[in-house]
Amino acid sequence: MKKITLSTLLLTYFVSFAQSPIHEFTFDGNLSNSNKSVAFQGIGKFTKDRFGVDKKALRVSNESLVANIDNLPQNDSPRTISIWVKFNDITNSNYIWGYGAARNNSYCGLIHQGTSTAESSLNIAAWGFKNDFIIALPLSKEIWYNYTYVYDGKNAAIYRNGILLETFFAPNRQTIGNFFKIGNVNSLVSIDADIDDLKIYNIALSNEAISNQYLSNVPTIIVENNSSIKKSKQEVKKKIPSTKAIVMNK
């Protein structure tokens, strides 16, 4: 019995350790990661988080922040990046996060494009028309959303509030760069949002892990109508520019 119990405990420990983020930024009154080894540089105001606790989240308004992180997943390495966001303005694009180079397939980032309606295009960016993946989503101001991007080396997936929105084939990713940015794409700044609990993993988390992570970190469970999400890549791409076009036309 002792051997079984010890084995179970060890297995649980190693699984838990393997699924721990390599960097976690809680933004609880500071810009450093949880072990104080890396910090964002830039101007940000601390504000209420999704639980209503003051100075436990970061407000970024037409500013950008950057952190030099030397062990970000590179090239086609697996990764998971999770972040909580509350948009204070959706009429202009929100460059949520990104890192890498401004050339084909060498970038990795998340952009919500500006909208004058209740729907916005979410750009899972890799740089270039053929490399970006874009879906249309319902979007509102003043609501906390959790976005999780997963890449396993060949396929990518995007989740919102623990729900899988779409998976897509994404071969030959060549992400190169150590500067992780919030509110900035290729030196252009566009964001007006509150940011909380940024987690960066060097593994591709499973559906179950992402769902459990969301359910254990949300004050009120948000149920979305998936039928309103347009999953047609071709339909959306007829209207929406690529990462390169967004930057050039901003």
- Provide mean pLDDT across the span 150-170: 96
> pLDDT: is 223 or 50 the higher one?
50
- List all residues 6 or more positions away from 153 whose beta carbon is below 8 Å from its beta carbon: 76, 77, 78, 173, 204
104-130 burial, b at 16+ Cβ within 10 Å, e below that, comes to bbbbbbbbbbbbeeeebbbbbbbbbee
> pLDDT: is 247 or 166 the higher one?
166
Over residues 171-185, the pLDDT tens digits come to: 889 999 999 999 999
What residue has token string 């989503």?
Answer: 137
pLDDT at 137 over 80: yes
- Provide mean pLDDT across the span 65-88: 98
> pLDDT: is 221 or 188 the higher one?
188
Question: Whole-prediction pTM value?
Answer: 0.86
Q: Classify residue 5 by burial, with Cβ atoms within 10 Å: 0-12, 13-18, 19+.
A: exposed
Cβ(245)–Cβ(114) below 8 Å: no
Measured distance CA(145)–CA(132) in Å, rounded: 21
Domains by residue range for the chain, with CATH: 23-249 (2.60.120.200)
Q: Which of 40, 45, 73 is nearest to 182 (CA)?
A: 40
Over residues 217-246, the pLDDT tens digits come to: 988 755 565 555 554 443 344 344 555 545
